[in-house]
Amino acid sequence: MNSNLQFMVQPGGCLTGHMRVPGDKSISHRSIMLGALAEGVTEVAGFLEGEDSLNTLRCFRRMGVKIEDPETLGAGRVRIHGVGLHGLKKPDSTLWLGNSGTSMRLMSGIIAGQDFDAVMEGDESLSGRPMRRVTEPLALMGAQIDTQDGGRPPLRVHGGSALKGINYVMPMASAQVKSCVLLAGLYAMGETCVTEPAPTRDHTERMLQGFGYDVRRVAGEGGVSTVCLTGGGVLKATNIDVPADISSAAFFLVAASIAPGSDLVLQHVGVNPTRTGVIEILRLMGANIEILNERTVGGEPVADLRVRSAKLKGIAISEALVPLAIDEFPVLFIAAACAQGETVLTGAEELRVKESDRIQVMADGLHALGVDAQPTPDGMIIRGGTMHGGSVTTHGDHRIGMSFAVAALRATGEIRIEDCENVNTSFPGFVELAQRAGLRIRAEQVAA
């Protein structure tokens, strides 16, 4: 008999104390990829032991890289025995990436530069996500990649192509596309440049530099910038300390903001300026968030975040902030539902092609809880008000499940959240950590 993991969350509560959320997923993915392609042994601390990043780890093992994992070394610790840029081996079968679009898009760039064929596939959600945004620039570089109808996975990457550097102007801001092209550029003849229309997360560029690779950045006007590198260099092993994931911290930033009496400190959070849109948006809504103990760890800015409850107000969210908070909008919608007045989001059509259609799924869930939420093609209009209890479904999307768990802090009745298995893809131990912080949440398996 199939079973379904549900969250049952009682209304009310407040959040207090100190906590550290799991490691940053984006950086965890990249630490495996670049560590595998480096010469020497890379030590990683703070690695996220979620299914997405573990699938990346398993794929590189399948391509001949020796990787010692947390089961052997202890929580959050990984040791990668790099094979160099040209040391990967043909996998004996398909590379399984589960729910991870980041893995598939970034690995497309790496595998395009190999001399062997490889097939990448994922679960039903990943199989419906658009991949032309990476296969098209890779084709311009000389790669040969077969997709399914509509440019969807599985992807078959044909090896042995001689890649050439390109100047690629991205039609839309996407850190995954930028990273894919730069990673392919490691194998390309000449210089590869990517121009982005708005700032996106820059973990790939920072980490490439941390591995000793020369990366050139040119800032333009109006947020436009270009990143360049020349193929044929060498990555040198290094040590990486993965900060806590601001996307995971976001659930607790909103939770402590909306729950009266809350005073919570989130420790060692990555505050890369390309990722802090959630803090900026919440502060514009009136949130009380302090950035404390700022420091740099392994090239990434890190800080402690103190958040106390505050009366939030609705705002029109600037489209310039959208790329800086794209993964945090599900829980920001909960903040909007608890705010006084109207919150308007535009320019976020990317939310419709995430693990779920996050605009429609969040609107449906908010409706089920009595919130006035109107989806639009590229965003949402939410009028804050009272939330009652009810039942919502995540459609297999981890961020939807955690967002509605946070909503219970201000609901008048119990919220039941169905289909929460995928929470472990990004936030293992979410329920236990949320309970310790003050959320009245429990998980239970029910017959499907």
327 belongs to the catalytic site: yes
- Beta-bridge mates of residue 291: 305
Helix H or strand E encompassing 402:
helix 398-407
> What is the spatial distance between Cα 400 and Cα 363, in angstroms, rounded to a whole number?
11
Contact 112, 163 (CB under 8 A): yes
CB count in 10 Å sphere of residue 394: 27
User: Among 327, 364, 378, 397, which one carries the catalytic annotation?
Assistant: 327
Transcribe 116-129 into DSSP letters: S-EEEE--TTGGGS
> What is the spatial distance between Cα 292 and Cα 136, in angstroms, rounded to a whole number?
43
CB count in 10 Å sphere of residue 122: 22
| Tokens read off for 166 | 């390109």
Angle at alpha carbon of residue 355, lines to 349 and 357, rounded to 5° = 40
| Tokens read off for 246 | 């601001």
Query: What is the SS3 assignment for 372?
Result: strand
Angle at alpha carbon of residue 145, lines to 39 and 197, rounded to 5° = 80
> What amino acid positions are annotated as catalytic residues?
327
